[in-house]
Amino acid sequence: MCYYVDSSLTKAEIKKIYNIGFEGTDYVSEKFLNGFGHSLLQVILDDNSETATSANWGLIPFWSKDRNIQKQTLNAKIETIAEKPSFRESINRRCLVLVKGFYEWKWLDDKGKQKHKHYLKLPDQDIMALGGIYSRWHDKLTGQELTTFSIVTTQANELMAQIHNTKHRMPVILPGRMQQEWLGERDIQDFAFPNHEAELIALNLDEPLEPTTLF
């Protein structure tokens, strides 16, 4: 799954890479961000891809009465996304979730008492775009409208299966050539592994080694 990310990129970096400005509430810029805080992250939405904005991590479907569902919607499995009530209305509301990388732990024993923390990033790229879906939710108590999102996950590729060796999942990672296709009308299943995968570098943060790369 994907619950921890590096959101330390700046608006200047977004401007440099995407040549777009930023409009919205300031997002949380942290090297190690825990998704269960439902913080704001930087995203590009399909209905306004000329501007970056921010959205809360943990999708709230329009029918939800409160925000409690967010702890269950940080990720959306691509294989079942069209079947789940929380996600099926958002399957064609796509966004790019902009991060510098994400974190995952490799279990070293059967119960996970010993783990190695890994940092995953793209080689020679400052920003990683993860495939996301989003929803706009109206809070009847405050009158506030929130934009919320889930990161879409897929079966792990060879590298990630070695690291996320319990559930074998990874986020959908979108290189530049695929980002507009994700925001467009292309069938979401086209982005499931093994139909699509991206090059990754894994850094073992608990036992420094040479970076592991999958091409």
Residue 211: how many other CB atoms lie within 10 Å: 13
Tell me what pLDDT residue 99 has.
Answer: 98
pLDDT tens sequence across 135-154: 999 998 889 999 999 999 99
Provide the CATH number for the domain around residue 143.
Answer: 3.90.1680.10
Tokens read off for 94:
């796509």
Question: Is the residue at 62 inside a domain?
Answer: yes
Count of structural domains, the chain? 1
In 3-state terms, what secondary structure has residue 42? strand
Question: Is the residue at 19 inside a domain?
Answer: yes
Per the structure, the complete domain to which residue 27 belongs is given by 4-105+129-156+167-194
Question: Is the residue at 84 inside a domain?
Answer: yes
Cα separation, 102 vs 105, whole angstroms: 11
Question: Is the residue at 177 inside a domain?
Answer: yes
Cα separation, 160 vs 194, whole angstroms: 13
Question: pTM for the full model?
Answer: 0.94
Question: Is the residue at 117 inside a domain?
Answer: no
Q: How far is CA 71 from CA 36, 38, 185, in A?
A: 6, 8, 28
Cα separation, 179 vs 184, whole angstroms: 9
pLDDT tens sequence across 24-58: 999 989 999 999 999 999 999 999 999 999 999 99
Question: Is the residue at 148 inside a domain?
Answer: yes
